[in-house]
Structure 1
Amino acid sequence: MVRQLRGVGLEFAESAPLRLVFAAEVGAPPEEVYRALAEETAEWPRWFSAVTFARPTEQGREVHLRGGTKFMETVVAAEPSRLYAYRIDLCNAPGVRAMLEEWRIWPTGAATRVQWTMAVDGPAPLRLLLRAARPGVGRAFRDAVRTLDERLTARRADRPAE
């Protein structure tokens, strides 16, 4: 059953009852990472294995995950090469009351740091389950960022020299 979640803003990334935060570095420049996150929605299943379907909508995105979870999202922040965040408005996962995901991007010398925050409100059993799932979610994030970096590196290599 699809349910309407509570609307939250960007501040929820810091104030949510449960926050899962993961970070990794990639060799791609921030503008390429941002483009992949914010503008190439339909490509997400090619690099984030938890995502089976993604398409842009008028307000944000529709996303399907492995296991059958479906989201309708609204973009709440889009700062090119720095920040991409969206709240989940509709979701079929039981127990979720509010959810926001935030992707922060910043250069670190020759690399780019990517930080993903999943901010969630729900009853205690859901928060306990998500805390227990933290290692697997972290592994999925690191694998996704590694695959994204490989894709972006290959894309740069395929471009003709200027």
Structure 2
Amino acid sequence: MARRLRPVGLDFIEVAPTRLVFAGRTTAAPEDVYRALAEEVEGWPSWFRAVTLARPTHGGAGREIKLAGGIRFQETIMAADPERRYAYRVDTTNAPGIRALLEEWLLTPSGSGTHVQWTFAADGPTAVRFALTAARPGLGHSFRSAVRTLDLRLAERRRGADQ
């Protein structure tokens, strides 16, 4: 059953009781990574294995996300700064115990590619905060795998455009 979460602003990224931060690197340019994140929402399942469905809602101002295992999110896009930042707040979810959730993707040019930082900011009772902290290794693995897969897909797209 979906529950409404506490609405939070972008400042929640800095003050959330649980903050999990992961970093990776792509050979793709920031504009290509941003396009995959923010403009090609329905493509997420092709590179982020945990995501089984992603689609824009409310004319692109929101997203519907389904994860492997049945977790669902209805989200509001909080920041869409081309080539720099993409952030969204979870408004409703069927994930138990979470009170507030905001995720942010920061993109920074790095040599001939992009440094990608994903921050997962959440609030919930002590048991939820403990569970999220315990899930850090799995979330990190999922993020790193997703960034590698996205990078491969973007490289294939570049090669196809060059031919």
Q: Please give the range of the TM-score, normalised by the shorter of the 2 chains.
A: over 0.9
> Which residue pairs with 1:8 in the alignment?
8
Q: Percent identity?
A: 60
Count of residue correspondences: 161
Tell me which stretches of 4 or more aligned residues in structure 1 moved more than 3 Å.
none
Q: Give the distance between the partners of 2:34 and 2:24, measured in 1 at CA.
A: 14
Code of the residue aligned with 2:55 in structure 1: it is: R
* CA shift digits 1:55-80 (9 cap, x unpaired): 00013100000111000000011100
3-state secondary structure, aligned to 2:9: coil
> Which residue pairs with 2:142 in the alignment?
140
Post-superposition shift, 1:108?
1.1
Post-superposition shift, 1:52?
0.3
3-state secondary structure, aligned to 2:145: helix
* CA shift digits 1:18-41 (9 cap, x unpaired): 000000010000000000000000
> Which residue pairs with 1:114 in the alignment?
116
Q: Which moved more, 1:103-112 or 1:149-158?
A: 103-112
Q: Give the distance between the partners of 1:41 and 1:60, measured in 2 at CA.
A: 10
What 5-or-longer segments of structure 1 have no aligned partner? Answer: none
Q: Give the distance between the partners of 1:46 and 1:160, measured in 2 at CA.
A: 22
> Which residue pairs with 1:61 in the alignment?
63
What 5-or-longer segments of structure 2 have no aligned partner? Answer: none
Normalising by structure 1, we get a TM-score of 0.98
3-state secondary structure, aligned to 2:28: coil
Post-superposition shift, 1:160?
4.0
Map 1:42-81; keep pairs closer than 5 Å: 42-58=42-58, 59-81=61-83
> Which residue pairs with 1:17 in the alignment?
17
> Which residue pairs with 1:153 in the alignment?
155
3-state secondary structure, aligned to 1:159: helix
Q: Give the distance between the partners of 1:157 and 1:138, measured in 2 at CA.
A: 29
Map 1:62-101; keep pairs closer than 5 Å: 62-101=64-103
> Which residue pairs with 1:38 in the alignment?
38
3-state secondary structure, aligned to 2:102: strand
Post-superposition shift, 1:145?
0.2
Code of the residue aligned with 1:20 in structure 2: it is: L
Normalising by structure 2, we get a TM-score of 0.97
Q: Give the distance between the partners of 1:110 and 1:153, measured in 2 at CA.
A: 12
Code of the residue aligned with 1:148 in structure 2: it is: L
Q: Give the distance between the partners of 2:127 and 2:100, measured in 1 at CA.
A: 15
> Which residue pairs with 1:129 in the alignment?
131
Indicate the RMSD between aligned Cα atoms, in angstroms.
Answer: 0.7
